[in-house]
A and B are shown apart, each in its own frame.
Chain A
Amino acid sequence: MSKREDGGFGRKRKTEVGHKIEDSGSHNSPIIAAFRVFQQELDSRYDKYERLVKISRDITIESKRTIFLLHRVTSVPDVEGILKEAEVKLDGVRQKIGLIAEELRGEDLYQFHRAITPGIQEYVEAVSFHHFIKHRSLISLEEINARLVFIRDSKGSDESPSVLTFQIPASDFLLGIADLTGELMRMCISSVGNGDMDTPFQLSGFLREIHDGFALIGNTGPYEVSKKLHTLRQSLGKVEDACYTLRVRGSEIPTHMLADVFSSRAVPLDADDNMA
């Protein structure tokens, strides 16, 4: 980089001198005037993009924290308390999505999609995980979108407060759900560790349904789906193995010992997951 700069420097200086003379002669040359307009347009576009990247990163971090919090439900008695706390965190995330909606007011969502897609996917993952723990079912796209309605009072004017909405693109929803399966797999393994014998079977059924759902999507989805599908299959395999072990060993070993047998098996599985 610096080398290229050096190479061009001598010449650049020369032309710059040449231009100074030219510019002072025709300061309002139409080309220069036009490029000043482009400069402003591009700068404001890039600035907006950067702001959105920042918001998206905050959303990712907060959502990840919520997911970690939700993983604790398998080991504590007070499930309700954790769900409430997660709900509060998710509200915070939604406020941030409100900021995105504000930035994108009157803009084309897809122009800035690359900036926000990681955050949005993480949010889908967190909110659907929360929903699953609460209702044991898959959250729908409408349910997510219904909570992304923001009411903003317009500053310093007597206009009625405006309503902003944010619609999650179907592709981001899909990718978020694909990530959800990884969380469910972890939840399955840790719940066995805590002697919960029902959750793994529920989870394996649910994961299988999601897996079949992705088979329906096939390659009509975005490019990333095929990559995530591979991980999904691995997660499903782990959960199915866990259920298998529970069934086979469950009849042989007393329940209180089963947990020990399983958690010793679960350790390598968990380590493997971190690599993926």
Chain B
Amino acid sequence: MSVTEMFSYIQGFLSADQDIREDIRKVVQVLEQTAREILTVLQSVHQPTGFKDIPSKCTKARELFCTVRKHTGELKTKFPAEQYYRYHELWRFVLQRLAFLAAFVVYLESEALVTREEVAQILAIEVDREKGFHLDVEDYLAGVLIMASELSRLAVNSVTAGDYGRPLRISNFINELDSGFRLLNLKNDPLRKRYDGLKYDVKKIEEVVYDLSIRGLAKEQEQEPGEEK
């Protein structure tokens, strides 16, 4: 094989790769658009008026997830399944956002942490790598961390809206998340960087709980008021 032949052979590989990337980018763009729409729907829970109909917001968000499922199905067909990590960077960001949105919806509905299986189900993807397009554990965890900072914001706004019970429940939840994350031995990577932000969310919620408890606003809740500093 001559040098020129060899190079045009390699060139063939590279341009096939670029075509795939182009296709993926198009679908990811649509996914990002839908993710923004879902976020807009859910953002209204921070409004005082939004507090009253959280369930209806969740239903609306769930409907939008149908569109997401359609597009993740499309994304799967754009590249060979065993080369997931070759193109991972292209959808990593949007998948983390979607994991966050799914986790947020589930929290608003049931005040529980979404499992990785549930997120995968909501997005119509797999949990195991062997079975095809899946949710990488790091992306799931990143989504959960985004939710934690969203919840710390929600705690502040729920006080403004006159809901004094919610911050206490959020505080318990975030504390449990924090001790969960402390079990992980994270490398010095983007996930670790994001985890380092969790302590500020914890701190913020603790301050809200503190403010409520010294003013006796959290009295109706069965909490240990001495806990909070």
Which residue of chain A has the shortest Cβ distance to B5 in the bound complex? A140
Question: 8 Å CB contacts to B: which residues of A201-216?
Answer: 206, 209-210, 212-214, 216
Number of A positions contacting B (CB below 8 A): 46
Cβ–Cβ contact B11 & A217, under 8 A: yes
**B4 CB-CB contact with A under 8 Å:** yes
- Complex Cα spacing A14 to B226, Å: 12
Q: Which of A34, A35, A111, A170 contacts B85, CB < 8 Å?
A: A111
Q: Which of A8, A34, A38 contacts B199, CB < 8 Å?
A: A8
Cβ–Cβ contact B3 & A213, under 8 A: yes
Which residue of chain A has the shortest Cβ distance to B8 in the bound complex? A216
The minimal Cβ–Cβ distance linking A10 to chain B, given in whole angstroms, is: 10
**A224 CB-CB contact with B under 8 Å:** no
A35 proximity list for chain B (CB < 8 A): 180-181, 183-184
- Complex Cα spacing A56 to B6, Å: 26
Cβ–Cβ contact A110 & B86, under 8 A: yes
Known: A15-B178, A110-B83, A220-B14. A214 touches B184 (CB 8 A): no
B187 proximity list for chain A (CB < 8 A): 46
Cβ–Cβ contact B10 & A173, under 8 A: yes
**A234 CB-CB contact with B under 8 Å:** no
A34 proximity list for chain B (CB < 8 A): 113, 115-116, 180
Most chain B CB within a 10 A radius of its CB, from A23, A35, A174, A216? A35
Q: Which of A8, A42, A170, A206 contacts B14, CB < 8 Å?
A: A170
**B175 CB-CB contact with A under 8 Å:** yes
**A11 CB-CB contact with B under 8 Å:** yes
Known: A18-B227, A108-B83. A41 touches B183 (CB 8 A): no
Most chain B CB within a 10 A radius of its CB, from A11, A15, A18? A15
Cβ–Cβ contact A213 & B137, under 8 A: no
Which residue of chain B has the shortest Cβ distance to A142 in the bound complex? B1
Which residue of chain A has the shortest Cβ distance to B187 in the bound complex? A46
**B56 CB-CB contact with A under 8 Å:** no
Cβ–Cβ contact B3 & A138, under 8 A: yes
- Complex Cα spacing A32 to B176, Å: 7
Which residue of chain A has the shortest Cβ distance to B136 in the bound complex? A111
Cβ–Cβ contact B177 & A217, under 8 A: no
Known: A8-B199, A108-B129, A213-B4. A39 touches B13 (CB 8 A): no
**B70 CB-CB contact with A under 8 Å:** no
- Complex Cα spacing A18 to B179, Å: 10
Number of B positions contacting A (CB below 8 A): 47
- Complex Cα spacing A31 to B176, Å: 7
**B203 CB-CB contact with A under 8 Å:** yes
- Complex Cα spacing A68 to B57, Å: 67
B15 proximity list for chain A (CB < 8 A): 220
The minimal Cβ–Cβ distance linking A241 to chain B, given in whole angstroms, is: 22
Cβ–Cβ contact A217 & B180, under 8 A: no
Q: Which of A29, A39, A206, A217 contacts B184, CB < 8 Å?
A: A39
B2 proximity list for chain A (CB < 8 A): 137-138, 209
The minimal Cβ–Cβ distance linking B162 to chain A, given in whole angstroms, is: 27
**B211 CB-CB contact with A under 8 Å:** no
Most chain A CB within a 10 A radius of its CB, from B3, B86, B177? B3
A18 proximity list for chain B (CB < 8 A): 175, 227
Q: Which of B7, B141, B180, B229 contacts A214, CB < 8 Å?
A: B7
- Complex Cα spacing A22 to B173, Å: 12
- Complex Cα spacing A174 to B13, Å: 11
Which residue of chain B has the shortest Cβ distance to A35 in the bound complex? B180
Cβ–Cβ contact A141 & B8, under 8 A: no
The minimal Cβ–Cβ distance linking A135 to chain B, given in whole angstroms, is: 11
Q: Which of B113, B116, B130, B229 contacts A30, CB < 8 Å?
A: B113
Q: Which of A29, A31, A110, A209 contacts B3, CB < 8 Å?
A: A209
A-contact 0/1 string along B192-229, CB 8 Å cutoff: 00000001001100000000000000000000000101
Known: A34-B115, A39-B185, A42-B184. A216 touches B11 (CB 8 A): yes
**B138 CB-CB contact with A under 8 Å:** yes
Cβ–Cβ contact A110 & B184, under 8 A: no
- 18 A-B pairs whose Cβ atoms sit less than 8 Å apart in the complex: A8-B199, A22-B176, A31-B177, A34-B180, A35-B180, A108-B129, A113-B86, A138-B2, A138-B3, A140-B9, A171-B14, A209-B4, A210-B7, A213-B7, A216-B7, A217-B7, A220-B15, A221-B14
Give the 6 A-B residue pairs with the shortest CB-CB distance, closest first.
A213-B7, A35-B180, A110-B85, A170-B13, A209-B3, A111-B85
